[in-house]
Structure 1
Amino acid sequence: MAASATLFGLMAIGIRYASKQQHPFEIAFFRCLFGALFALPLLRVHGLEILRTRRIGFYIARCAIGIVSMLCGFWALVHLPLAQAVALSYSTPMFVTIGAVIALGEVVRMRRWSAVVIGFIGVIVIVRPTAADFSSATLVALLAAALSGMVTISIKYLARTDPPDRIILLTTLLWVPLSLPAALTVWQWPDAEIWPWLILSGALGTGGHYCWTRALKMAEASALAPLSYLQLLVVGFLAWALFGESVDRYTVIGAAIVISASLYIARREAQVAKAALVGKGETQL
């Protein structure tokens, strides 16, 4: 998980460098294209059988939502301070909680709802909608987080029957054609110095996704969640060192609130899941 967070943080830096010439939509397409190429070795490991699924329609739907989330997220990374854009992305667990109630019928009690409300208070602190320097790009970042929550819910659904490598490979392959239409509306061939950043973004994105799915297979999400926030430290330091971006106190305070709420939600979900397993075992006995 630490490797995943670091790779995703470095990907954000690569996106910022590529954005010196390329539109975020085009960067997203090349991230998907090169990301798919770096995922192809999974075919050698598993063979073509890994591509076989009875849920291809569901994959297409979730990938379409994921592409819109990616486009919004890349737009935010280009138009907001990097640390602020990443901090807002941490509101995803709040949207996941809401989506789990609606889509999966999960029962969420008062303590988790309280954490969701507190988390959104942290989002308001980061965004500061009444401030003079308020940017509509923050709303785009929040839309990306909300859609990412929908994608997370879909992964939980798919993981019931499909192995992680199938989810990774089918997702990365479907992202390529789904991301192309938006890229064509702003198409401009990259100059030679931009290509390394586009290729690197694809490699880092796929590497981060691979490490993330492997981490979730090896340990509980609640135990891994604190390490995922390493991404904010990586991005914050490199944004300061490379681009001279500073992190204001509102982003720090808001991010602390959002991260605390997200960690509590992850912990409560783990406790509820463990209690459900214990109850199921006692019923079987």
Structure 2
Amino acid sequence: MYLIFFFKKQSNNFKAITAMLLAVFCVTIMSVQAKLIGIEFNAVQITFARAIVVLILLMPLIYKLGGLDFLKTKKPFLHFFRGLAGLIGNVMFFLAYQRLPVADVTVISQAVPIFSCILAIIFLGETIGWRRWTAITIGFLGVIIAINPSVNIAVASLYALGGTLMWSSTIIFLRLLGSTEHPVKTVFYFMLVSVLITSIFQPFLWKEPSFEVILLFIGIGVAAFLTQLLMTYALQKAPASIVSPFNYTGIIWAIIFDYIIWNAHPMFATIFGGIIITISGIYIFKREAKIKSIK
């Protein structure tokens, strides 16, 4: 009770940063559970189960917001392609978790702002100055270092890289959807697309889960659901330039869980590449915020 009272008294920036830190922790929890299940279960089945759980958890929110009337949209195709990109990204990340330490995948995934900046130039016609181009170039160097192409796991790292590219494209679709579409509606269609497409493959890939695995499936869905709520809350309370840099704390959590559960230590290339990606990403966030404030 005291914590709730304390939280309510804090500034919006404090609330936003706290929500983002909790969201990042939830992402790590989801990633760890996916890796635990991924030893025995297909990435498509994990994605299917995750989407089912999130859809169930969304139902009370959708009912409160207006039910079927709330779900009406004038942009069905954008929702579909946003959902498809997110679905492919999830499957590729789950494939990466099966083969790599969570920290390695997390480091590579931090390149989302770098890729999304490039995609915005290509598909949205945005122009960027030499400062952000420099940050993008340095960020790509960090990605190459983190992938460490000289070792055998480079092929597995491509799954993480592909997932990062897909998630970057979802940002472009979200920008095309604009502020007219409620975040809950966007998440609903994302999960609906995921369920509809992955259900096609279930007769061929389905493996009967044990009670323990069902709990992990539910845990993945709950973590994904909480992540969406917390990130939405964070971005409502403060600008992205303030909260987004805290997304990089996921690397710390990933390293901790890798060590506790699998006794895995990150390679120097992963840490060094992660530092470069983090610095580049934070600079891009800050630079974009400065340009928006000038406009």
TM-score (norm 1): 0.92
Query: Which amino acid counterpart does residue 163 of structure 2 have in structure 1?
Result: A
Mapped partners of 1:232, 1:271: distance in 2 = 26
Structure 2: gaps of 5 or more residues = 1-19
Structure 1: gaps of 5 or more residues = 277-285
| 25, 28, 33: which one aligns with 2:44 | 25
Contact 1:21 1:194 (8 Å CA) reproduced: no
| 141, 155, 158: which one aligns with 1:121 | 141
Q: CA deviation at 1:231?
A: 1.5
| 256, 261, 264: which one aligns with 2:280 | 261
2:120 is the counterpart of 1:100? yes
Mapped partners of 1:272, 1:182: distance in 2 = 45
Q: CA deviation at 1:97?
A: 0.4
Contact 2:32 2:257 (8 Å CA) reproduced: yes
Match of 1:220 in 2: 239
Query: Which amino acid counterpart does residue 207 of structure 1 have in structure 2?
Result: L
Contact 1:25 1:75 (8 Å CA) reproduced: no
Mapped partners of 1:194, 1:98: distance in 2 = 39
Query: Which amino acid counterpart does residue 112 of structure 2 have in structure 1?
Result: T
- What SS does structure 2 have at the residue aligned with 1:66? helix
Q: CA deviation at 1:183?
A: 4.4
Mapped partners of 1:67, 1:271: distance in 2 = 33
Q: CA deviation at 1:171?
A: 2.0
Cα deviation 1:226-257 (Å, max 9, x = unaligned): 21112221121011101111111111110000
Match of 1:38 in 2: 57
Mapped partners of 1:107, 1:135: distance in 2 = 32
2:189 is the counterpart of 1:207? no
Contact 1:122 1:258 (8 Å CA) reproduced: yes
Q: CA deviation at 1:188?
A: 1.0
Contact 1:115 1:261 (8 Å CA) reproduced: yes
**Coordinate RMSD, CA, aligned:** 1.4
Match of 1:141 in 2: 160
2:109 is the counterpart of 1:109? no
Query: Which amino acid counterpart does residue 264 of structure 2 have in structure 1?
Result: E
Contact 1:39 1:172 (8 Å CA) reproduced: no
Match of 1:159 in 2: 178
Contact 1:42 1:169 (8 Å CA) reproduced: no
Mapped partners of 2:288, 2:202: distance in 1 = 38
Mapped partners of 1:182, 1:215: distance in 2 = 36
Mapped partners of 1:230, 1:36: distance in 2 = 28
Cα distance change of structure 1 residues 231 and 132 upon mapping to structure 2, 3 Å threshold = closer
Match of 1:239 in 2: 258
2:175 is the counterpart of 1:178? no
Contact 2:38 2:94 (8 Å CA) reproduced: no
Match of 2:216 in 1: 197
Aligned length: 275
Query: Which amino acid counterpart does residue 240 of structure 2 have in structure 1?
Result: A
2:97 is the counterpart of 1:77? yes
Query: Which amino acid counterpart does residue 79 of structure 2 have in structure 1?
Result: Y
- What SS does structure 1 have at the residue aligned with 2:44? helix
Contact 2:100 2:153 (8 Å CA) reproduced: no
Mapped partners of 2:90, 2:128: distance in 1 = 28
TM-score (norm 2): 0.89
